[in-house]
Amino acid sequence: MSAKIKKTILIVDDEPDIVNLTEKFLKLGDFDTITSNNAKEAMKMIEENYDKIALILLDIMMPGRSGYSVLEEVKNNEKFKDILVVLFTVKSFNEDVQKGKKLGADAYITKPFSGKELLGRIKEILEKKD
C-alpha cells in the first residue's frame, strides 16, 4: 500500500489572522501549506514551488498588487497551468465573481468561513481536477 501524497496549498492573504486560521484548518485536513502575505512574495513562492502546489487560496483585496494580478499572471504562464486558483474574499459581489471567472479563477470562497466549509470546498475543487 503506497502512502498518500499530501497536496500542497499556497495561502495568500495580507491578514495574518486569516493566514494562520486557514493554515490550521488545512493542516487538520491533511494538507501541506505554504503561506505568503503579499502578491510579490506569492509569485516568488509559486515560481519556486510550482511543481508541488496543487491549489492557491488567493485573497483579492491586498495592498499593492491585487489578487487579480496574481491570478492573471498564474493563468497566463504555461508553467503554472496545472495549479488551481481559488479566490477568497469578503466580497461576493457579482462583478467580482465575473472578473475572477474571466481571468481564469477555478472557484470562490467567501470569508468568513468555517473549517468544515473550507475543507469541504477545497476537497470538492481538487476532486473535480483529479
Residue 117 lies in a domain: yes
Q: Which residue has the higher pLDDT, 53 or 128?
A: 53
Residue 22 lies in a domain: yes
Q: What is the pTM of this model?
A: 0.92
Q: Please give the Cα distance from 119 to 107 (Å, whole number).
A: 13
Quickly tell me which residue has 490550521 as its cell. Answer: 24
State the alpha helices, DSSP H only, in 4-114. 16-28, 39-49, 67-75, 94-103
Residue 102 lies in a domain: yes
Q: How many domains does the chain have?
A: 1
DSSP code, position 7: P
Residue 120 lies in a domain: yes
Task: Please report, as a single letter, which amino acid is at residue 6.
Answer: K
Query: For residue 30, what is the domain's CATH number?
Result: 3.40.50.2300
Residue 47 lies in a domain: yes
Instruction: Convert 51-68 to b/e letters by CB count within 10 Å (16 or more is b).
Output: eebbbbbbbbebeeeebb
* Residue among 38, 101, 85 nearest 66 (CA): 38
Residue 27 lies in a domain: yes
Write out the residue range of the structural domain in which residue 15 sits: 8-129
Residue 3 lies in a domain: no
Residue 108 lies in a domain: yes
**Chain segment 39-89, per-residue pLDDT in tens:** 999 999 999 999 999 999 999 989 999 999 999 999 999 999 899 999 987
